[in-house]
Amino acid sequence: MPLAVKTFDQLRDAASALGTDAGARFLGGGTLLMRDINEGDISITTLVRSTDRAFTEIRSSGSRITLGAGVTMSEVAAHPELQYLKPVARTVGGPAIRNMATIGGNLFAFSPYGDFTVAMLALEATVAVQGGYSSRDVPLEEFLATRDRDSKSLVTGVTFRQPDNPTAFHYSKVSRTHPKGASVLSIAAHLPASGNRVSSPRIAYGAMAPTPIRAKAAENALNGKSLDEAGIADALAAATQGCSPASDSIASAWYRNEVLPVYLKRLLLGAPN
């Protein structure tokens, strides 16, 4: 089966091509898509890519930062303004994968992948989606709830507010092979403080549901509390609410539910993983 590759200078032209060809898929770094093709997915007949510079740019405006969807994990890890995200980017596969794997592709990765997206969820990112010639910004949570890996829309970037205090951002990935194995689970948390109390915490999980999810029950239970054993107790009790992890070759659903509170506790108390 022949496979066409179409390259467009402008993102809007790439989005238009994607929307009008049933067999078209957007090619990010190709770490997942090329595997599908090599394994014989004949539903894919056209690969769409774009050389638009905006696609691979990292732009900041005040405290807001936009990562083009074509920015790679290696580029995030090397960026001076994004050092608090370096531990996240560096847990995505090995060096060869990180040099290719994009932010945009990570939004579509199936569980237990999607580690970077977990961090974006904790930072309340919005996703810029180009459908044909029109574009819109969608909260990441809403995007994940409706995403379709074969979507006909093109993601052009993600935008989020940098934490006022980078040390308020925390990330933990539990895997069988350190540091690069697939996730048993991952946790990202943004825990701004007001005095010695947590104020409006944001916690997200990876591999605890078909897509990365917000841990809203734990967030509510932690709001206004101190980060000590007594202060986090209610959040730990609520940790697995809303979770529906899979059983796969990495871990069973039972195991994931059992160990999540253990790792959340370590993250909240700043203990080593």
Q: Minimum distance from CB of 229 to ligand FAD (Å)?
A: 31
Sign of CA dihedral 163, 83, 64, 151: negative
Which residue number, 92 or 191, has a Cβ lying nearer to ligand FAD?
Answer: 92
> How far lies 27's CA from each of 35, 129, 147, 224, in Å?
12, 15, 17, 44
Among 85, 119, 121, 182, binds ligand FAD (CB under 6 A): 182
How far apart, in whole angstroms, are the C-alpha atoms of residue 219 and residue 94?
A: 32
Under 8 Å between Cβ of 69 and 103 = yes
| Shortest-Cβ-distance residue relative to ligand FAD | 105
Sign of CA dihedral 141, 162, 69, 113: negative
Instruction: Give 148's DSSP letter.
Output: -
- Decide: is 212 part of the binding site for ligand FAD (CB under 6 A): no
Which residue number, 153 or 240, has a Cβ lying nearer to ligand FAD?
Answer: 153
Which residue number, 16 or 31, has a Cβ lying nearer to ligand FAD?
Answer: 31
Under 8 Å between Cβ of 127 and 66 = no
How far apart, in whole angstroms, are the C-alpha atoms of residue 229 and residue 173?
A: 22
How far apart, in whole angstroms, are the C-alpha atoms of residue 83 and residue 105?
A: 21
Among 6, 21, 30, 162, binds ligand FAD (CB under 6 A): 30
Among 89, 121, 140, 154, binds ligand FAD (CB under 6 A): 154
Which residue number, 92 or 208, has a Cβ lying nearer to ligand FAD?
Answer: 92
- Decide: is 69 part of the binding site for ligand FAD (CB under 6 A): yes
Among 27, 189, 208, 235, binds ligand FAD (CB under 6 A): 27
How far apart, in whole angstroms, are the C-alpha atoms of residue 3 and residue 83?
A: 39
- Decide: is 147 part of the binding site for ligand FAD (CB under 6 A): no
Which residue number, 161 or 178, has a Cβ lying nearer to ligand FAD?
Answer: 178
Q: How many residues bind ligand FAD (CB under 6 A)?
A: 30
Instruction: Give 55's DSSP letter.
Output: G
Q: Minimum distance from CB of 200 to ligand FAD (Å)?
A: 26
What distance separates the 2 farthest-apart alpha carbons in the chain? 63
How far apart, in whole angstroms, are the C-alpha atoms of residue 142 and residue 140?
A: 5
Token pair 């092979």: residue: 177
Scanning residues 96 to 135, which ones bind ligand FAD (CB under 6 A)?
Answer: 97, 100-102, 104-106, 108-109, 113-115
> How far lies 190's CA from each of 58, 164, 174, in Å?
21, 10, 18
- Decide: is 155 part of the binding site for ligand FAD (CB under 6 A): yes
Which residue number, 14 or 268, has a Cβ lying nearer to ligand FAD?
Answer: 14
Scanning residues 39 to 68, which ones bind ligand FAD (CB under 6 A)?
Answer: none
Phi then psi dihedrals of residue 270, to 5 deg: 70, 25
Q: Minimum distance from CB of 99 to ligand FAD (Å)?
A: 10
Residues that bind ligand FAD (CB under 6 A): 25-33, 69, 91-93, 97, 100-102, 104-106, 108-109, 113-115, 149, 154-155, 180, 182
